[in-house]
Every structure is written in structure tokens, then in C-alpha cells.
Amino acid sequence: MLKQIAITLLAIVACCLGSQAQDVNDVPLGLDTVQYLENVVVYGRKPYAEVIPAQTLAGKKLEGLNSHSIADAIRYFSGVQVKDYGGVGGIKTIDIRSMGTNHLGVFYDGIQLGNAQNGQIDLGRFSLDNIEEISLYNGQKSEIFQPARDFGSAGTVYIKTRRPKFSGEKNNNFNVTMRTGSFGLANPSVRWEHRFNRNLTMSLNAEYTYATGQYHFRYRKKFSDGTIAWDTTAVRKNGDVQAFRAEGAIFGTLDDGKWNAKFYYYDSERGIPGAIVNNVWMNSQRQWDRNFFVQGGWQQRLSEKFETMVNAKYARDFMHYNNPDTTLMLIDNKFWQDEIYVSSANKYTIMPDWDVNLSVDYKWNYLNSTLTNFSYPQRHTALVALATARTWHRFKCQASLLYTMIDDRYKTIYQGQTLARHSKWMHKFTPAVFMNYQPIQRYDFYLRAFYKRIFRMPTFNDLFYTDMGNANLKPEYANQFDLGFWYQRLREDGFFTGLKFTADAYYNTITDKIIAVPSGRGQYRWTMMNIGKVRIMGVDVTARATMHLARDFNLDINLSYTYQKARDYTDPEDTGFGGTYKGQIAYIPWHSGSVVGRATWRDLDVNYSFIYVGERYSSSCNERSYHQQPWYTHDLSASYTFALGSTKFKVAAEVNNLFNQYYDVIINYPMPGRNYKLILKFDF
């Protein structure tokens, strides 16, 4: 037994350090060993490439979901919590495995979306109209050939926009889509794709969204003894939105290489419906956003062993927030932030099954504002990642070490005079190890595990915001442990054509966790604090079954379930009435899950989805007054596709929240009841 353990440990060390091993079947072939065969068809299984696989929504499955934004679609992944502040124009952020929104990196066509001001990426502003695939990774992407920023998050979401595809000699594709429905929705979009030649293509996409955002909701409040204080129905107002989005991209291929360039522009004005507190049913706050970025990338294989990749980006974001209500606080603030980012990744193949990569990134952020006595912070960030990946028979291992250096520079200003200039410098090393093992080669069954330590600095708002910034905030550290398995079985015929199961148990610890809660005066303003120590234990389970029921009739069912115990361990003496010690942290349910079903028959496509979020608390103080009831929604959609000549038509209808349940994702921010949508698409 000890001998077997020793041999196993030596194999793991050899893998991670890249020990050379040769398969016993690697026998050189001579001319006399060659056999010439005719009309041979070889069937094989696609090799399992990822050490830690992603949860992915793509193609028809993504298109069939009753989702308008990326945040709506990500709700169906296990281990994810969506914070939705209600309505069409409400801000939507996501949290993975209770690590916090700022620990999730969001990548748009391979380059991270940034917000140095508050670290919050509002995924509600990213439409699914131009999206081809969404992938969610726990830990990090199972690929070492990537920029250093990709190694710097507890989890990552990769958003891949559509790439032009052409059939035959066709050089142009056009798509026109119109959506309308509840809340006064009018949402037209157009897309044009053009092929210049076999090596150069481009795409342009534009979309406009208008909605009044008004919907009925039920508001019910109970006293601590369980008696009803009031129970009424009202209309949610000031949730209107007008938004325009435009994107353009050009894609090129080279000998052993490729390149791309992209621009993105988003301009919106929206009302902020606000929280329903103190019997206030109407708010007048408004917010304007303008987001613009240009980015590009180049990837080239320079030799059989060496490959390089360069990415660059410039982004400029503007936000204007106005609160004319003097009974709260008269606010009229504007913010501008700039970002410059460059990256170089270089992969070298030591052996066919052993790669190493060195990535170096640099990022500069600057924030300007009309706030009085603002600090005008700027941040220089350098990241260096050294990573290796090794495959030894049926065992795979990836290891990385990320170095992060941050230099913050800001001013102390009083009555318009600069009193002092400051600089704060910090650097950290954070390691990660990922492993995957296939016990029996003929079965698609894999065991996987990973460990990762992550570090993040507070954002500009955390540190320097004039009214609510906390210059004494500590950096946040997190450790992640994961152990799980993946199983898949595919069949070419029969009733079940595919079965897939995954299960992961995880344990996360966070020290000096930074949390952000709405201040009550607007969704962009947050009260920042360290809550000390948090321990998170959980289980994620997913299952998928594909069935062939009859001729041209197929069924695809996906299930996900998450159990989480995320508790505050900051102060052992903070117990008793009003205490938070060992309390489940705010808005993290113990149980949550989803069911997504898709049935297709020829050109008819029917989709059903169900989301469940169990009981939770709106505070780490787990007392009855903070208890939140479970909520769930049923959504149903159907579409039919037909062709007239060379034009392809698609008609779709959706019913969301089918049983008209009234619920809050965030307390006092009521969500819509039953609502409808009609979609018309033309492809030619």
C-alpha cells in the first residue's frame, strides 16, 4: 500500500515539474511496417482537453432561453447568484460561489471588461443579440496560453461574440430582428457580415432598446410577530430605459496565425426605480452611461515550438447620476474613467505533452469626477504569470504563479487646493494548481481537483470616494479548494443519445472580505466595509440528457443544483440577538437550482426553463426580520423557422414568470410578474 502511494505521489510531482516520460507503445515505424488500405473510415472520440471544464451556453440552447441580457442567461449556471435590482433598466451583477462580484472576471472576446471605479460589471447592458457563446469557469480557464489577467480571478465568464460564417460563394449575411412585448418594449437590431476574401471578414451590429419599464407588483410586509402590516398592489415606475449599442469587428487569418480588431459603443439613459422604503413608491433618480472601447489581438505560431499572442485595449467610460429629490440628498455627479491595457503571452512547447507560458500585462486606470475634494486616483498595475501544463498518460496537470504589482497615486484636496500627493504600492504572489485524472481510458469519466489563492485590491470607490470611501480598507484574500468528477456517455442510436453528469464539492475561505451594499441613495453608491473572515462550503451538481423520441423529435434536458453554506466567522463574540457570527452572509441561499428543457421537431422549437432560489437572509444577522422567502419562476417559449426563397424567417413568442409570482431578488426591489415577448427574425 505504501509503495502504491509513493508511486502515485511521484507521478504527480513528475507531472507538475514536467518530468519526461515515454509511452511503451512509442515504437519507431519503418517502411516495411506501413500498410496501404483503401476506403477506410475512422471513428473516434474527441479527446477531453480541459482540466476543469466550463459550463457553457451556446448556439440554439442559448438562443432558446427566455433571456434578454447576458446576466439573465448566466442565471442557469450552477454556483451563480445574480443580484438584480429590478425592471428592464435595473443593474444586474453576478457572484460565483459567494466569492463576491469583484472576484469574477468578465472577458469580452478574450479581453477583460474593467471598471476601476467600483469593480461592478453591469451585465444587463450586454445583449444576447450578438453573442455566440457564454462560458463560466471556476478557478480559471483551462488554458495556459492566455494573458496574465486571466489568471487573476476566482472565476471567469468568457463572452464570445458572433464570428462571420459564409456558405458557398456567398459574401454577405444580413440579419434584422425586432422584439416587442411587455413594459412597452421596442428592441430592433441589425447585423451585417461581409467577406472580403478568404482571409478577411468583418461584421457590424447595432441595437436600440426602449422600454417604459412599468409593471404591476405586489408589496407585502409583516411585523415580527407574523401579522400583516400591509398587502397592496402598485405599479413600478421610473424604470424606463433608452439604450443604443453598436459593435464592429474585423477578423483576419495569416499563415499559422490570426488577428482581430473590435470597437464597442453603448449609450443609455435610464430611470432608477429605487428601493421601496418608508412608504415611498416613486423615485426620480436618473443615470446616463456612455461606454466605449477599442481592442485588438494578434496570435502567431513562429515555429513548431513557439507561439506568441499580443492584446491591447483602450476604454473610456462616462457616468452621470442625478437625484433631484432634495428630501434625500441633492446629487448631480459625473464620472469619467480611462483604461489602457497591453498584454503579451508567449508559449513554448518543451515536448508534445508539456507546455510552458510566460505572460506579462500592464494596465493603467484613471478616474475623474465633478465631486468636491475628489482625489483623482490613478492606478498602475503590472501582472506577470508563469504557467505550465503537462499531460502524462491519462493524468493532466496545470500550475501557475501570478505576480501582481499595484501602484496607486492620488491627491489630498481641500477647498480646491492640492495639499499633498500620495502613492501606495503593493505586490503579491498567488499560486494555482489544477489536476485531472481519467481512471479508465475507455470511459469518459474524469476526476478533477484544484487549489487557487487569489488577491484583489479595493476599487477606487472603496478607497477614495469622497463621502463613502474607506482608505483603511484591507486587501481581500481568498483560498479555493475543489474536488469533483465529470462523466459522459454518448450513443449514436437508441432512446438516450447522451448523458452527462458533473459534481463538485468546494471549500473557500476569504479574509478581510469586502462587501458592497446599496446606500439607499442610488444604485451606483455603495457603503464599503471589511467583514473579516468568511468560510464557504458548497456542492455544485449538473446533469444533462439528450433523447431521440421519434423521427425528427429530440429532447434536451439540463439540470443544475447548488448547495452553499457561506458563513461569517469574523467575531466569535458577536453572538446572541443581532449577532452575525456564523450567520449565512446576505443574499446567499442554502439551495438553488434550475431546469432547462428543449424539444425540437423539424422547424419547431419549444423551450421551458425553471429557476429556484431558496430561503436566505438580507443580512448576516440571521434573524426573522431579515428572512427572505424562496422564489421561483417558470418561463416558456416557442419558435418556428421557415424559408421563402433565400430569406430565412423565424417567429418566436415568450412568456416569462408564467405563474405570475411576485418576488424580490434584493429586498424592496420588486421584480416583474408575468410578461410577454414577441420576436421576428429575418436572415438573408
Across the chain, mean pLDDT equals: 84
Which parts of 331-377 are beta strand (E)? 331-351, 354-369
Q: For residue 566, what is the DSSP state?
A: E
Residue 597 predicted with pLDDT over 50: yes
Residue 503 predicted with pLDDT over 60: yes
pLDDT at residue number 39: 41
Measured CA to CA, the distance from residue 266 to residue 398 in angstroms comes to 38
Measured CA to CA, the distance from residue 339 to residue 314 in angstroms comes to 6
Residue 326 predicted with pLDDT over 90: no
Convert the pLDDT of each residue in 76-112 to its tens digit.
Answer: 888 888 777 766 666 778 888 888 788 888 999 999 9
pLDDT at residue number 605: 92
Convert the pLDDT of each residue in 360-369 to its tens digit.
Answer: 999 999 999 9
Cα dist from 495 to 83, 296, 500, 592, 642, whole Å: 39, 46, 15, 30, 28
Return the HEC string of 451-488. EEEEEECCCHHHHHCCCCCCCCCCCEEEEEEEEEEEEE
pLDDT at residue number 31: 31
- Angle at the Cα of 307 (from 456 to 346), degrees rounded to 5? 30
Whole-number percent of the chain with pLDDT over 90: 47
Q: pLDDT tier at 531 (50, 70, 90 boundaries)?
A: low
Whole-number percent of the chain with pLDDT over 70: 86
Burial status of residue 559 (CB atoms within 10 A of its CB: 0-12, 13-18, 19 or more): middle
Least confident of 168-177, 327-336, 547-556: 327-336
Amino acid at 464: F
Measured CA to CA, the distance from residue 403 to residue 563 in angstroms comes to 33
Return the HEC string of 48-107. CCCCCCCEEEEHHHHHHCCCCEHHHHHCCCCCEEEEECCCCCCCEEEEECCCCHHHEEEE
Query: In 3D, which of 202, 197, 324 has the Cα closest to residue 271?
Result: 324
Q: Do 94 and 105 form a contact (C-beta atoms < 8 A)?
A: no
Least confident of 14-23, 237-246, 360-369, 646-655: 14-23
Least confident of 18-22, 231-235, 505-509: 18-22
Q: pLDDT tier at 32 (50, 70, 90 boundaries)?
A: very low
438 or 525, higher pLDDT = 438
Residue 1 predicted with pLDDT over 80: no
Mean pLDDT of 654-680: 89
Mean pLDDT of 34-44: 40
Residue 349 predicted with pLDDT over 90: yes
Query: In 3D, which of 384, 515, 485 has the Cα closest to residue 118?
Result: 515
237 or 289, higher pLDDT = 289
Using CA of residue 657, residue 659, residue 664, residue 669, what is the dihedral sign?
Answer: positive
Residue 470 predicted with pLDDT over 80: no
CB-CB neighbours of 443 under 10 Å: 11
Q: pTM (2 decimals)? A: 0.85
Q: Do 387 and 356 form a contact (C-beta atoms < 8 A)?
A: yes
pLDDT at residue number 126: 81
Beta bridge partners of 281: none
Least confident of 248-252, 292-296, 605-609, 668-672: 668-672
Residue 27 predicted with pLDDT over 50: no
pLDDT at residue number 78: 86
Q: pLDDT tier at 17 (50, 70, 90 boundaries)?
A: very low
Residue 523 predicted with pLDDT over 60: no
CB contact set of 542 (below 8 Å; sequence gap of 6+): 55, 78, 500, 501, 502, 503, 558, 559, 560, 561
Convert the pLDDT of each residue in 213-241 to its tens digit.
Answer: 888 888 777 766 767 777 788 888 888 99
Least confident of 160-164, 256-260, 386-390, 665-669: 665-669
Q: Do 343 and 149 form a contact (C-beta atoms < 8 A)?
A: yes
Q: Among all chains, which residue has been given the C-alpha cell 470511459? A: 443
pLDDT at residue number 528: 64
Residue 16 predicted with pLDDT over 60: no
